[in-house]
A and B are shown apart, each in its own frame.
Chain A
Amino acid sequence: MVMAGDAAVVEALRRGDEQAFAEVVERFHPMLRRIARGYVRTDEAVGDVVQETWIAVLRGIDRFEGRSSLRTWVVSILVNVARSLAVKEARTVPFTSLGPADDGVAGFGPERFQGPDGEYPGHWTTPPTPWTEDPEASALAGETRAVVAQAVAALPESQRAVITLRDVDGWTGPEVAAALGISEGNQRVLLHRARAKVRLALDAHLTAGEGRAS
């Protein structure tokens, strides 16, 4: 999806328009840092990834053809930069692999479902109940956000990149798939696993003291 104005911004960058660069940096910066954090450990390395990304963007600006949106293209460059830096830090797994399936069913342990000998196999033994507290309510919001931030930070890098772009930055599935170089189906698998873990963390937080996770 090409954003309105992308072509004008790219044209301005090619002309050496510093104001256009300042604006696009301002717009993309928080998102680029959020994504970079999934790949490298330190704040310093995150800063390096972002700076290297802008250098690569400028060097490649004449090759940008507008087949994707500018932000998709910039993020795909960032992911390459971040991954090569992460390789140097020797802490990366192949991005295209989905990784091992996680335990349980989207965060619910196998004991939550009836086995093949149950009355209704595959149905709940103890059904979850709705959260009684609204995690978005103002009194809880700061605390809840910290729980979610921690859960997102603990995700494997591929899941973290997908949930960040989809649910924090509001990208569409196809756009995320294009930026990360994965299929839309794999993008959704990664998103589901990521959301399942964040849901689990929220559930533990919201039901603490109630004796049982929903």
Chain B
Amino acid sequence: MTQDVPEDDDLTCTQVVMLITDYLDDALPTTERALLDEHLADCDGCSAVLEQFRTTVAVTGTLAQDDVDRLDDTTREELLGVFRRWSADRPPA
């Protein structure tokens, strides 16, 4: 048995690529996770894809820094107005 010849229960690269989010979420059954780890140890292509997904997640996370969606003063006042009207209409507890 050599390392390079796939065995019957080995995962293919297409299977690995489809399972990367499950892998990152730790949502795979133990056996499948072990098979995937085994595949990654031998496959530079799939390891590169895993790393690229990790980077993608990290870069997507930086979108939270964009301030286009920050609360502006006008909107804050409008929403506080909504609250005051709601509060005034509320029957006393």
Contacts and interface: CB of A to CB of B under 8 A. Distances in A.
A105 B17 contact: yes
Contacts, number: 150
A98 to B, nearest CB: 14
B35 interface: no
B18 A141 contact: no
B66 interface: yes
B60 A188 contact: no
A127 B48 contact: yes
Interface of B: 6, 12-15, 17-18, 20-22, 25, 27, 43-46, 48-49, 51-53, 55-66, 69-71, 75-76, 78-80, 82-84, 86-87, 90, 93
Contacts of A58: 82-83, 86
Contacts of A6: none
Contact of A202 (B49, B56, B78): B56
B61 A168 contact: yes
A136 B27 CA distance: 27
Interface string A129-171: 1110011100001001100110010000000000100011110
B34 to A, nearest CB: 19
Which secondary structure characterizes the binding site on chain A?
helix
Contacts of A59: 86
Nearest to B26: A173
B44 to A, nearest CB: 6
A148 B60 contact: yes
Which secondary structure characterizes the binding site on chain B?
helix
Nearest to A25: B79
Given A105-B17, A113-B14, A122-B14, A18 B84 contact: yes
Given A129-B48, A214-B48, A30 B56 contact: no
A10 interface: no
Interface of A: 14-16, 18, 21-22, 25-26, 29-31, 33-34, 47, 50-51, 54-55, 58-59, 105-106, 108, 113, 120-124, 127-131, 134-136, 141, 144-145, 148-149, 152, 163, 167-170, 173, 184, 188, 191-192, 195, 198-199, 202-203, 214
B48 A29 contact: no
A163 B55 contact: no
Given A124-B45, A128-B52, A199-B56, A108 B64 contact: no
B70 A30 contact: yes
Please provide the 10 A-B residue pairs with the shortest distance between their CB atoms, ordered closest to farther: A127-B45, A122-B12, A192-B21, A33-B69, A30-B69, A167-B60, A16-B87, A29-B71, A124-B45, A199-B56
